[in-house]
A and B are shown apart, each in its own frame.
Chain A
Amino acid sequence: MVDPALLFEQLFNGVQYGILLFLLAAGLTLVFGIMDMMNLAHGSLYMMGAYIAATVTLAADSFLLGIAVALPATLILGVVLEVIVLRRLYDRGHLDQVLATFGMILFFNELVRLIWGPEGIEVPLPTILNQSLTLFTIPLPIYRIVVIAVGLLVAAFLYFLVVKTRTGMLIRAGASNREMIGALGIDIKRVFTLVFGLGAALAALAGVMAGPIFAATIGMGEHILIQVLVVIVIGGIGSIRGAFVGALLIGVIEILGRSFLDDLFKLFMPVNAAETAAPAVASMLIYILMAGVLFFRPQGLFPARSG
């Protein structure tokens, strides 16, 4: 039988991973929703955020300073990319967008290899975060609790921004009918640069927080990007709410699948077969879920735009 303490611990880890996915998905889904723009290089911003933070953290021996430098630096990088390249791609087909941003991924991965070398960077945590709280004999690392708290704050902030402010109103209007709000005299390009910068900063935040958990490595961006795409597809393109629900769902399934699927399979399979099949199925679970969601709801769980 599954140990409830272990189950709770992994559930906790799944939520924490889901929060990371959400930080990436939120920016990406807004960019998708408003400009109908497919940006594969979002993962590169996540990677750059992680590397910049890791470098500063190690050099200055301060995790906080690492965050303080990485966020604005990545935000600026994102805005520069938007102005130099991405802006030219809005009127193009998705294929052009995919290819150009694919070119960016190649560039950034190689740039990181050139500057930081092929080895990843382990990011140390300040001692204050490097401890565990114990809840009913279950140890919960403080750092992961902080990650979850930060993610929830960001979610609340985004909800407020999108639902309660004028900027949010423009974002929502842009998502449902770009031409119309342009015709009403709103400079949608400026709104978009803002959203893109915000997305870049959120990607960097995710990268910074992922650093101490997974270490900063080349290719970290693409690995998580694919899962983020699954989140967005499941949640519905352009929907922050969908991104949040989708991210938690994927995070929990991904972590629980890897931890418990073999136990589950052993209930009705020979041990050997279960141990072979479980990791294979676990790595496919989220894609199977996505296929299922799309089969019944091709527009995702929370479609943002009608038509």
Chain B
Amino acid sequence: MKFDRQAIVVAIVFVLLAFVPLIASLTEVPFYLDLGRRMMILAIGALSLNLIMGYGGMISFGHAVFIGIGAYVVGICAEHEIVSGFIQWPLALLACAVVAVIFGSISLRTRGVYFIMITLALAQMMYFLGVSVDRYGGDDGLPLAEPSDFSSLIDLSEKTSLYYLVFVLLLLCLWICQRLVNSRFGMVIQGARSNEARMEAIGFPTFRYKLTAFVIAGVMAGLAGALLANHTDFVNPDMMHWTRSGDLIIMVLLGGMGSLAGPIVGALVFILLEEALTGVTEYWQLIFGPFLILVVLYARGGLLGFLEKQPSSEKTRG
């Protein structure tokens, strides 16, 4: 059973992640805590992308824009001295939902390569907006004066608490994805990926379903953004840059597209690889670029694909 192997991998990953703060404090390398948090935040972003890309076939090359918007809403609120997380975070998610409805309505009118390019262009538009608005730091970004304040519920300035909050939210997002994918809604989305005309003929308004999926994914990425702002104490337009969207796609692909836990494994591997390669050479992308090409050419199913040992999946198109 392929699901069992996946479940085992996921369980191992989460157990390891749960012990990272302990290991960090025992070895007195707080950097591990930082690294683990970043991995999990990006994993939430990758999970959300996988929802539309892996299951819905919507290849968005601008998904990082929602991470950026989520982060910016938190940053802008803090700039105006609205520090309560109970206001900041719902606002961040709401902003992502609104933008996702607008971007989705435009981009989902098209398909294939047009969809890729439009999501890319819309995201770049927001990136340039971030760069050009000097009030909120422009190119230099906006430092977060203090973390989101959840009064007595949780203290995010305590880095271990933030770590476990991210941990719990990642689990929550994984659970939501699992529920969604196996629901009627998820079936329609997957059906639309393999044959949209057929789904419409059966009577499903696929556009509305796809738009809903797009918005859910955008909101989930916005949550990652709100976390990221608290993680780095800083927001800048670079979070929305199209190469960040590319990174998210790489994570999904590395882990295995269209598998539930693939993006989580992919995000972990991506960050570890980045750390390892930057340790080897300052010019790490000189190695990472060709590595990526090789993965695309020869390892289509990603890491979890290897686990499933299905050589016949080689021919299927993404």
Residues of A within 8 A of B (CB): 32, 36, 38, 85, 88-89, 92-96, 98-100, 102-111, 113-114, 222, 226, 229-230, 232-233, 237, 276, 279-280, 282-284, 287-288, 290-291, 294-295, 298
**Is there an interface contact between B286 and A107, defined as CB atoms closer than 8 Å?**
yes
**Is there an interface contact between A99 and B253, defined as CB atoms closer than 8 Å?**
yes
Kindly list chain A residues whose C-beta atoms are within 8 Å of the C-beta of B121: 226, 229-230, 233, 287, 290
**Is there an interface contact between B59 and A103, defined as CB atoms closer than 8 Å?**
no
**Is there an interface contact between A99 and B317, defined as CB atoms closer than 8 Å?**
no
**Is there an interface contact between A99 and B249, defined as CB atoms closer than 8 Å?**
yes
**Is there an interface contact between A104 and B293, defined as CB atoms closer than 8 Å?**
yes
> Would you call B311 an interface residue if the criterion is a C-beta within 8 Å of the partner chain's C-beta atoms?
no
Across the interface, B117 reaches (CB within 8 A) one of A109, A111, A114, A229, namely A229
> Bound state CA distance, A298 and B105, in angstroms?
13
**Is there an interface contact between B110 and A94, defined as CB atoms closer than 8 Å?**
no
**Is there an interface contact between A38 and B122, defined as CB atoms closer than 8 Å?**
no
Chain A residue nearest to B112 (CB atoms) is: A94
> Would you call B280 an interface residue if the criterion is a C-beta within 8 Å of the partner chain's C-beta atoms?
no
> Bound state CA distance, A89 and B113, in angstroms?
14
Across the interface, A103 reaches (CB within 8 A) one of B120, B128, B296, B317, namely B296
Q: Fill in one digit per residue for B96-133: 1 if any A CB lies within 8 Å of its CB, else 0.
A: 00000000001001101110111011101100110111
Instruction: Sample 22 A-B pairs with CB under 8 A, ordered by A number.
Output: A38-B117, A85-B293, A92-B296, A92-B318, A93-B318, A94-B59, A94-B112, A95-B53, A95-B253, A96-B296, A98-B59, A102-B250, A103-B290, A104-B289, A107-B289, A109-B285, A111-B286, A226-B120, A226-B121, A233-B118, A283-B129, A290-B121
Chain A residue nearest to B292 (CB atoms) is: A103
Q: Tell me, rounded to whole Å, the shortest Cβ–Cβ distance linking A8 to chain B.
A: 26
Q: Beyond the given A94-B112, A96-B300, A295-B109, please list 9 additional residue pairs across the A-B interface where CB-CB is below 8 A.
A: A38-B117, A98-B61, A100-B293, A103-B292, A106-B288, A106-B289, A111-B286, A222-B242, A283-B125
Query: Top 9 closest A-B pairs, CB basis?
Result: A107-B289, A103-B292, A106-B289, A283-B128, A287-B125, A110-B285, A106-B285, A93-B318, A103-B293
Query: Which residue of B131, B133, B250, B289 has the most chain A CB atoms within 10 A of its CB atom?
Result: B289
Q: Tell me, rounded to whole Å, the shortest Cβ–Cβ distance linking A246 to chain B.
A: 13
Tell me the interface secondary structure of chain A in the complex.
helix
**Is there an interface contact between A114 and B59, defined as CB atoms closer than 8 Å?**
no
Kindly list chain B residues whose C-beta atoms are within 8 Å of the C-beta of A229: 117, 120-121
Query: Which residue of A95, A110, A229 has the most chain B CB atoms within 10 A of its CB atom?
Result: A95
Chain B residue nearest to A94 (CB atoms) is: B113
**Is there an interface contact between B132 and A298, defined as CB atoms closer than 8 Å?**
no
> Bound state CA distance, A291 and B120, in angstroms?
12
> Would you call B246 an interface residue if the criterion is a C-beta within 8 Å of the partner chain's C-beta atoms?
yes
Q: Tell me, rounded to whole Å, the shortest Cβ–Cβ distance linking B160 to chain A.
A: 34
Tell me the interface secondary structure of chain B in the complex.
helix
Residues of B within 8 A of A (CB): 53, 59, 61, 106, 109-110, 112-114, 116-118, 120-122, 124-125, 128-129, 131-135, 242-243, 246, 249-250, 253, 257, 283-286, 288-293, 295-297, 300, 317-318
**Is there an interface contact between A94 and B116, defined as CB atoms closer than 8 Å?**
yes
Q: A99-B296, A287-B122 are in contact. Are A110 and B289 (CB under 8 A)?
A: yes
**Is there an interface contact between A233 and B285, defined as CB atoms closer than 8 Å?**
no
Q: Tell me, rounded to whole Å, the shortest Cβ–Cβ distance linking B214 to chain A.
A: 15
Q: Tell me, rounded to whole Å, the shortest Cβ–Cβ distance linking A275 to chain B.
A: 10
Across the interface, A276 reaches (CB within 8 A) one of B113, B134, B295, namely B134
Q: A110-B283, A295-B106 are in contact. Are A95 and B289 (CB under 8 A)?
A: no
**Is there an interface contact between B250 and A99, defined as CB atoms closer than 8 Å?**
yes
**Is there an interface contact between A113 and B283, defined as CB atoms closer than 8 Å?**
yes
**Is there an interface contact between A95 and B292, defined as CB atoms closer than 8 Å?**
no
Chain B residue nearest to A111 (CB atoms) is: B286
Q: Tell me, rounded to whole Å, the shortest Cβ–Cβ distance linking A239 to chain B.
A: 14
Kindly list chain A residues whose C-beta atoms are within 8 Å of the C-beta of B135: 276
**Is there an interface contact between B296 and A38, defined as CB atoms closer than 8 Å?**
no
> Bound state CA distance, A226 and B297, in angstroms?
25
**Is there an interface contact between B110 and A298, defined as CB atoms closer than 8 Å?**
yes
> Bound state CA distance, A59 and B300, in angstroms?
45
> Bound state CA distance, A186 and B36, in angstroms?
55
Kindly list chain B residues whose C-beta atoms are within 8 Å of the C-beta of A298: 109-110, 114
> Bound state CA distance, A103 and B287, in angstroms?
10
Kindly list chain A residues whose C-beta atoms are within 8 Å of the C-beta of B124: 226, 287
Across the interface, B318 reaches (CB within 8 A) one of A96, A113, A237, namely A96
> Bound state CA distance, A109 and B132, in angstroms?
25
